[in-house]
Amino acid sequence: MKKLLPSAACAFLAAACGKSPPPAPAAAAPAAPALVSGIDTNYFDDAVRAQDDFYRHVNGKWLATTEIPADKGAYGSFTKIADDTQEQLRALIEDAAKSAGAADPDKQKIGDLYNSFMDEAALEALGDKPLEAEMQRIDALKSRKEIPGLIAHFNQIGVEAPYGPQVHQDARDSTKYVFDLGQAGLGLPDRDYYLQDDPKLKQIRQAYAGHIGKMLTLAGDRQAAADAGRIMALETALAKVQWTKVQNRDPVKTYNKVELADLPKLAPGYDWKAYLTQAGVDGKVDYLVVSQPSYMTGFNALLASTPLPVWQAYFRWHLISDYAPYLSKAFVDEHFAFYGTALRGIPQNRPRWKRGVGVVEEAVGESLGKLYVAKYFPPESKQRMDELVKNLLAAYRQDIDTLEWMSPETRKKAQEKLAKFTPKIGYPKKWRDYGTLSVVKGDLVGDVMRAGVFEYNRNVNKLGKPIDRDEWDMTPQTVNAYYNPELNEIVFPAAILQPPFFNAKADDAVNYGGIGGVIGHEISHGFDDQGSQYDGDGNLLDAPGWFTKDDLDKYKARTHALVEQYAAFEPVPGFHVNGELTLGENIADNSGIAIAYKAYRLSLGGKPAPAIDGLSGEQRFYMGWAQVWRAKVRENEAILRIKSDPHSPPAVRGTVPEMNQQSFYDAWGVKEGDKMYLAPDKRVTIW
């Protein structure tokens, strides 16, 4: 509510009382614009008490009236901002397509790539002809000994293969890069889709086998149905030897250094020389990291026992599948019929222009990001975000010193790690150079392949060089944020700094509950069950790491309680939240909201929070958190996420963290008997 200046109020009262007016005062400085609450009160469901279902109280009318768009598996705050951002990107791309020229080669590449994707008539005329050379490469295989070289090639052009590489900071030596091999090769999202007997998963398996057959038929395979059955059997066998997503969360178990001379022990008879040469790393590395050694051994056994024609059918299938979106309409439609509708429950494909924007983002994302930042990211947003991050880090520093479960020795180590955090906000210090990437107008498949090879080579060329600590893993136009334990950095792209996460015109309460909770979430990843195993320089430590043994035991007891708390939720009948898979994100949600609240209180400087729209600052803080997570999810999409996503479902994220915070109980008067109430001994508090 806007306050009147005292002098103006006195002048008004004097005139009203009929007294002679005093001399006119000097002109007063204009009042600062009133801050809004930033809370979407129009979505409140007053029929639901905040103390019984806070998430629905805040978002109930939105949940009741919003339809998931036909081209989406889920819809919420993230997707709304992403849609708005895509409209902005479309305008930038179309402008680049009109005005590009030799004077701006980056714009030329953006425009040519987009126009090639949008030229449906040309793609229709080509059919699957752009894949002929790759099909011939597969057909030319004379023996399984040649498969390692093919896998290396597929790794470069972005085609699914039984394993794939990643170049990243060596977790055991933060001064160098490492070439890391990990399991891959499945066409379904997770091994559970192949191995579990749930009727819904069985139905998807059947649809998947049929889809493989249809795609192979489109590509001219005369024994498509039989090949589909053999491919399904091979992928099922691969799934059986893969590690679970929970197992893959352990950074110590997935760090397995293998000297090149010892690779034959891991996979006897496998032509590692051919793979490393084709992969472009022979002579650049002395060792590899193998994330899942037993999988590599199991894959090698399958390679030896599976006939070459089956492997050829498998590789043809994945080539067609991964490049189907860039081919003629028949391939596009069949690809979506399975991966969109059958798997995720989405009835309609995205408009072509949105898919075109996605192609540009994938190929030359930072070039597009540079245009986006220049037009849509005001400097004042970055400045206010800097202040928010500073306050969150200050709150963590204070909190570490008061944690009752943490010993002085562990506190000291935690403070040392926190002091080395690197925040990155908005956009990178230096933009990626795409000068060597060739984009040929009218050659969409070739452009996508060249973009894949460009990115692959950009990463491989890091080997043997110093760590680039200025690099970003997301583009500025990405509506997301992340923590990287190896670089000990928290990164917030420009696009997430929009309502409801961040509102430059709003009072601080909603911003601390929204983007503040996200900042706290990302910081806390440095101290969750995975991040806590890395020191401040990004080196992976063996247990108990920088914890004392006693403190680690206390920490694990609390995180175990969190596993059980989340596992009780069943978003889809028969599909419970996997408390172990989602543990790191659940720790981050609970820790993030706790620290963000403390940072909000610090920001008030001892003054009471202003009341706006009849709501206290403390109440609006928690509403800011709950409205960030408003979303609706289709059933099949929910199942996919439960099986493969380390994040809990949106409604759970918008509900459970509040139930663990005493300050939430105080703000909303939650008491025993209310549905949001948890007995004090059932609440999990880490920070």
Specify if 361 maps to a domain: no
Specify if 609 maps to a domain: yes
Q: Find the CATH number of the domain harbouring 302.
A: 1.10.1380.10
Instruction: Quote the pLDDT of residue 102.
Output: 58
Provide the whole-model pTM. 0.92
Query: Is the pLDDT confidence value at 306 over 80?
Result: yes
Higher pLDDT, 232 or 25: 232
Cβ 85 vs Cβ 477: under 8 Å:
yes
Interval 444-471 mean pLDDT = 98
Quote the DSSP letter at residue 244.
P
Mean pLDDT (the chain, rounded): 93
Which two tokens mark 628?
A: 């960030």
Interval 356-368 mean pLDDT = 98
Instruction: Quote the pLDDT of residue 381.
Output: 86
Pick from 383, 465, 393: which is nearest to 422 by CA? 393
Query: Is the pLDDT confidence value at 32 over 80?
Result: no
Does 656 lie in the same domain as 538? yes
pLDDT digits (tens, 9 = 90+) for 616-629: 999 999 999 999 99
User: Which amino acid makes up residue 456?
Assistant: Y
Given 326, 345, 364, the domain boundary residue is: 326
Question: What pairing do the DSSP bridges indicate for beta strands 489-493 and 422-426?
Answer: parallel
Query: Is the pLDDT confidence value at 27 over 80?
Result: no
pLDDT band at 189 (very low <50, low <70, confident <90, very high): very high
pLDDT digits (tens, 9 = 90+) for 119-175: 999 999 999 999 999 999 999 999 999 999 999 999 999 999 999 999 999 999 999
Q: Return contacts of 380-385, CB within 8 angstroms, 24+ apart.
A: 380/504, 381/426, 381/494, 381/497, 381/502, 381/504, 382/425, 382/426, 382/494, 382/497, 384/502, 384/504, 384/511, 385/425, 385/426, 385/492, 385/497, 385/502, 385/515
Query: Is the pLDDT confidence value at 205 over 90?
Result: yes
Question: What pairing do the DSSP bridges indicate for beta strands 163-170 and 74-76?
Answer: unpaired
State how far the alpha carbon of 423 is from the alpha carbons of 17, 217, 417, 501, in Å: 58, 51, 13, 17
State how far the alpha carbon of 555 is from the alpha carbons of 408, 684, 687, in Å: 15, 11, 11
Alpha-carbon distance of 458 to 461, in angstroms, equals 5
Given 326, 345, 365, the domain boundary residue is: 326
Instruction: Quote the pLDDT of residue 100.
Output: 57
Query: Is the pLDDT confidence value at 3 over 60?
Result: no
pLDDT band at 380 (very low <50, low <70, confident <90, very high): confident
The number of domains in the chain is 2
Specify if 61 maps to a domain: yes
Say which range, 28-32, 365-369, 604-608, has the weakest mean pLDDT: 28-32
Interval 210-233 mean pLDDT = 98
Specify if 100 maps to a domain: no
Does 410 lie in the same domain as 310? no
Q: Find the CATH number of the domain harbouring 607.
A: 3.40.390.10
Does 385 lie in the same domain as 322? no
Does 287 lie in the same domain as 407? no
Instruction: Quote the pLDDT of residue 269.
Output: 96
Does 673 lie in the same domain as 588? yes
Does 391 lie in the same domain as 509? yes
Pick from 611, 504, 505, 607: which is nearest to 1 by CA? 611
Domain with 165 in it:
128-326
Does 193 lie in the same domain as 50? no
State how far the alpha carbon of 56 is from the alpha carbons of 51, 62, 67, 77, 651, in Å: 10, 9, 16, 15, 9
Alpha-carbon distance of 293 to 258, in angstroms, equals 9
DSSP codes of every residue in 338-380: IIIIIHH---SPPPHHHHHHHHHHHHHHHHHHHHHHHHH--HH
Does 509 lie in the same domain as 402? yes
pLDDT band at 16 (very low <50, low <70, confident <90, very high): very low
Specify if 456 maps to a domain: no
Query: Is the pLDDT confidence value at 651 over 60?
Result: yes
Instruction: Quote the pLDDT of residue 101.
Output: 60
In the chain, the percentage of residues whose pLDDT exceeds 90 is: 92
In the chain, the percentage of residues whose pLDDT exceeds 70 is: 95
Does 248 lie in the same domain as 185? yes
What stretch of H or E contains 456? helix 444-460
Given 289, 310, 326, the domain boundary residue is: 326
Does 538 lie in the same domain as 620? yes
Beta strands in 184-272 (DSSP E): 257-259
pLDDT band at 23 (very low <50, low <70, confident <90, very high): very low
pLDDT band at 373 (very low <50, low <70, confident <90, very high): very high
